[in-house]
Structures are given as C-alpha cells and as structure tokens.
C-alpha cells in the first residue's frame, strides 16, 4: 500500500519543536534542524469496524545529545488503536499507560523492515530511530483519531529515554515500572478491522 512520497509536502518536526520532550533540551545546539517528516492522511481504508487513515513518517538518524532520534510522542484522545509497520530501517516503539503520578505499564517493541507493532488503546507512544539509517514507517488509525501531546510536553518526554547507554528513567514521573519487551508482528495483517 506504500505511496510514493517524493513529490509530496510533509509536515516537518524541527528541533525547536522537540526541546520540551528531550532528556537534554539544549541538545543539537542552536541550529533548528529538521528531525522527522509526517505525510498525513495519504489514503483512507474502509474496514468492517470503520474508516482508517494512512500515514507515512520518516525519522532521520542521529543523536539528540545522549538520546537517539525520536518522535515527540503522544496519547490518543479516546480509546483509539493504531498499527505501525516499518518500511525501511529499524524502529523501537515505546508504549506507556498511566499518568504523571503512576505509569501502570510500559513496554517496548523492536521492529525491522516488514515488521509491525500495535499501539493499544489508552497507551501513549514514541517511535525511536536507533539505527544508522533513516527510519520510514507507515501507520493506520481510525479516521477520527486525534493526538494529545500535552503529557509528554509537561513531563519532558516519555517515562524512559533511549540513550547510547541504554534505557534511562525520566525523573519527572513519580512511579514507573520496569520496561517489558514484546515481539513485533510479522508483516501487516490483511484484515485491519481490529483497529478501532
């Protein structure tokens, strides 16, 4: 289903847009460089449970201080699910459930090209590019899905940062469990009606 994005104009997330969610807000210096590119609402897919929107995101490789390149992270406004599939590169998907007082669950899915991860309802999520090449993902979510970035901005990112020294807890969260790891899904399911 991948769409040729070479002639499309993306929404661009720049360094200054991301400083609030970085382990080190001064990382990257003063140059307001491009970090990742979002090609939104490229197509709609109809399933038995409703309509889905299809997006592509390209995340550059590199470091933000000690931290690997990542997305800003967000929760969904409501019980929407989402499916991410890696087209090129390798992704680390971090998912967390809870609030600033207590994170009830946090888990990670590492996925290579051709593999997928499901974002469950009520989980905030961040996509991390820890490889030496750009990361390209495609994703499907309900057409009515809206993103809420406020918790990640208020708490300076997700409950863990992925750095060159491994996983580091974000001290702005009060109670955070240890990370658990789940396996990716192979490929993209033919029936996407479970995304609702």
Tell me, what's the pLDDT at 88? 97
- Length of the chain measured in residues: 196
Can you read off the two tokens belonging to residue 183?
Answer: 């396996």
Cα–Cα–Cα angle for 75, 164, 180, nearest 5°?
50
Mean pLDDT of the chain: 96
Q: Is the pLDDT of residue 2 over 80?
A: no
Give me the helices (H) in 65-174, please: 150-154
Q: Which domains does the chain have, with CATH numbers?
A: 11-183 (2.60.120.10)
Can you read off the two tokens belonging to residue 147?
Answer: 């993103």
- The predicted-structure confidence for 6-22, as pLDDT tens digits, reads as follows 999 999 999 999 999 99
The pTM of the whole model exceeds 0.75: yes
| pLDDT level of residue 29 (50, 70, 90 thresholds) | confident
- The predicted-structure confidence for 51-89, as pLDDT tens digits, reads as follows 999 999 999 999 999 999 999 999 998 899 999 999 999
């Amino acid at each position: 289903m991948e769409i040729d994005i070479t002639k499309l104009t993306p929404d661009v997330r720049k360094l200054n847009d991301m400083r609030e969610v970085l382990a080190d807000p001064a990382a990257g210096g003063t140059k307001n460089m491009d970090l990742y590119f979002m090609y939104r609402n490229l197509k709609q897919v109809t399933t038995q449970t409703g309509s889905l929107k299809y997006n592509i995101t390209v995340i550059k490789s590199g470091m933000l201080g000690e931290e690997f390149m990542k997305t800003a992270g967000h929760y969904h406004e409501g019980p929407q699910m989402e499916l991410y599939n890696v087209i090129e590169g390798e992704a680390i998907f971090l998912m967390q459930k809870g609030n600033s007082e207590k994170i009830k669950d946090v888990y990670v899915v590492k996925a290579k090209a051709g593999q997928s991860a499901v974002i469950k309802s009520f989980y905030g999520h961040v996509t991390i590019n820890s490889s030496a090449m750009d990361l390209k993902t495609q994703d499907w979510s309900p057409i009515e899905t809206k993103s809420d970035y406020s918790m990640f901005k208020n708490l300076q990112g997700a409950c863990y940062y992925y750095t060159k020294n491994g996983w580091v807890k974000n001290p702005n969260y009060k109670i955070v469990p240890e990370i658990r790891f789940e396996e990716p899904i192979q490929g993209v399911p033919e029936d996407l009606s479970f995304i609702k």
